[in-house]
Amino acid sequence: MEIINVPLENLTEIRELAYKIWPIVYSSILSKKQLEYMLDEIYSLDSLEKQLTKENQQFIIVQQENTSVAFASFSMIRAHDNNTCKLHKLYVSIEEQGKGIGRLIINHISQKIKSPNPSYIILNVNRHNKAVDFYKHLGFSIIKEEDIVIGNGYFMNDYVMGKFI
């Protein structure tokens, strides 16, 4: 497996993976209309470009035998008195889940952000997403619940989770 940084010109690969993974992950959690709305809002090429260039998110893809099987994005943020990283996205193809790819991504990001100061990773995850258990298994704790207005009358009903590394 190889982890590759995604440059601006390859953001279509992130979009394609999201459109493949999201409907499976969220079909039992979100309405079809909300799912389509969120995909269009978050994963349009304009939105991805903004996330990369204006919000300073770093995108990575995991490739296995020249096939992209997972992606993530993260950025450094001002929070606490620590070196804090916000994990914005982490998605693994359904057929590859349970094979250690998510852990590989978290470890990769942890290595990238390590500094002499304590480092902290925070993330949001839908309260009904089975990924909550995955993050708990990796040592993340629930910090709080958060309901985020995303437009069109929709909300993201999330846990905010965090972990010192």
Q: Domain containing 36 — which CATH number?
A: 3.40.630.30
pLDDT at 118: 72
Domain span including residue 119: 2-164
Half-sphere exposure of 19 (CA within 13 A, CB side): 12
Q: How many domains does the chain have?
A: 1
The angle, 0 to 180 degrees and rounded to 10, between the axes of the packed helices 11-26 and 45-53 is 110
This prediction's pTM: 0.95
Q: pLDDT digits over 59-77, tens only?
A: 999 999 999 999 999 999 8
